[in-house]
Structure 1
Amino acid sequence: MAIYTRTGDAGTTSLFTGQRVSKTHPRVEAYGTLDELNAALSLCACAAADENHRTLLEAIQQQLFWFSAELASDSEQPSPKQRYISSEEISALEAAIDRAMARVEPLHSFILPGRCEAASRLHFARTLARRAERRLVELATEVNVRQVLMRYINRLSDCLYALARAEDSDAHQANIIREVSKRYLAASQPTRSKETTPVALSFHDLHQLTRAAVERAQQLQVPVVVSIVDAHGTETVTWRMPDALAGQQRAGAEKGLDRSGDENGDP
């Protein structure tokens, strides 16, 4: 079956109601931009690391079909066979925004878009949502556009921003965990260097080590547990930052004990 009709070769297209309009008509510009946004969201869904984000993005793609279908009709009478954007979809977007923003640190300045692929794609989709909103505002100067559609597209761009921030934050933390694990594994490998004499650390030394670790953790925005042990594996300092995982405290002490044994030639 051929997908071409040749009816649009002269630069016009048909609305759902049968009316033919120019392909530059504000109505066509509006739902055409939604089509661009929908295609971009498919890339976002493929790149997203968070399964909940993928599920949400796929739901939004379906909603954009409803949105586009409404714009592609010049009839103001609702069709019983058609789905429409409602306040329910807006509430779902707002809930998703709140969940995503609760996971990230507040910002007080502009940020460069995306430190991971998923976030970069989401930021790009956000700009398309903004463009779609501008096209919708332009269309509303000529025809009646339901206010709920204006609210939805405005909230959608906010949602895509929030998802990008969350994906960025998750990727950043995952990179830190990988780097810390890599360094720990490298440091915990047995060495053939001759044994060294344990050096007792003063209170000042312990304080400086703890302070340096906490300051670095604050820069990375990752709460940690600082645990320092002596040559015998006895804890001398333990400091748990707020929001650090409870299991980190035990793991930190165990790692410190392992390192004390390696460095002093203990079995």
Structure 2
Amino acid sequence: MSIITRRGDSGETDLMFGKRISKTSLRIEVLGSVDELNAALGLARAAGAGEEAVAVIDRVQNLLFSLMGQLACLPGDSGKYVESKYPVVGQEDLDWLFETAREIEGRGLRFTHWAVPGEEGSMARAHLDFARTVSRRAERNVLALHESGEEIPEVVRLFLNRLSDALWILARVDK
């Protein structure tokens, strides 16, 4: 199957379970920002992030694919998504992210001043900072979608908030 389908020429795109939606919808904005976050993490990986950061990035990128699947379902199709046994971002993933960030932070990292992205001269660290800002935007977009009346699970909303914190920490400690 070709990637070039021409189905999007009308200004709509496909969601899961055969639903179509305008490319300018808030849901598509959310999906785009999460996709951009995943790409930004790829830049950090490719720029030579350290082994520990790559392990975190790898797991987070896989979780973002799951999160995008969840967000690519209209609220009425969330039951179908669960029944199809697609992976979801759950409480255990939120707990892992929080515990990982706390463990790294617990090595003595303290917030003493505003961090200047790129100051250390490391492309990987600068890309982690960039990914952090994209994570914040994705979080804002998810919250806007939720506040518009489309229920977004709390764990999804919290995951992006915790992720941006974890990325700030990684950008301070990565080699």
Confirm or deny a common fold (TM above 0.5). yes
What are the ranges of 5 or more consecutive residues in structure 1 without an aligned counterpart? 171-267
Paired position in structure 2 for 1:162: 169
Shift of 1:49: 4.0
Q: Give the TM-score normalised by the residue count of structure 2.
A: 0.90
Paired position in structure 2 for 1:109: 113
Could you say which structure has the larger radius of gyration? 1
Shift of 1:157: 0.4
Q: Give the TM-score normalised by the residue count of structure 1.
A: 0.60
Tell me how far apart the structure 2 counterparts of residues 150 and 2 of structure 1 sit (CA, whole Å): 34
Tell me how far apart the structure 2 counterparts of residues 131 and 104 of structure 1 sit (CA, whole Å): 28
Letter in 1 for 2:27: R
Aligned counterparts, 1:51-70, within 5 A: 51-70=51-70
Identity %: 36
Aligned CA distance change for structure 1 residues 10 and 101 (closer, same or farther; 3 Å): same
Tell me how far apart the structure 1 counterparts of residues 9 and 108 of structure 2 sit (CA, whole Å): 49
Question: Which residue, 96, 116, 128 being the options, matches 2:134?
Answer: 128
- Larger helix share, 1 or 2: 2
Aligned counterparts, 1:51-200, within 5 A: 51-74=51-74, 75-77=77-79, 78-114=82-118, 115=120, 116-140=122-146, 141-167=148-174, 170=175
Shift of 1:89: 0.8
Aligned CA distance change for structure 1 residues 71 and 5 (closer, same or farther; 3 Å): same
Letter in 1 for 2:22: S
Tell me how far apart the structure 2 counterparts of residues 158 and 98 of structure 1 sit (CA, whole Å): 10
Shift of 1:111: 1.9
| Preserved contact between residue 101 and residue 165 of structure 1 (Cα < 8 Å) | no
Letter in 1 for 2:128: L
| Preserved contact between residue 30 and residue 132 of structure 1 (Cα < 8 Å) | yes
Paired position in structure 2 for 1:239: none
Q: Secondary structure at the match of 1:58?
A: helix
Shift of 1:117: 1.3
What are the ranges of 5 or more consecutive residues in structure 2 without an aligned counterpart? none
| Preserved contact between residue 67 and residue 149 of structure 1 (Cα < 8 Å) | yes
Shift of 1:10: 1.3
Matched positions, count: 168
Q: Relative contact order (C-alpha < 8 Å, sep 6+): which is higher?
A: 2
| RMSD (Å) for aligned C-alpha atoms | 1.4
Letter in 2 for 1:86: G
Aligned CA distance change for structure 1 residues 113 and 147 (closer, same or farther; 3 Å): same
Shift of 1:48: 4.2
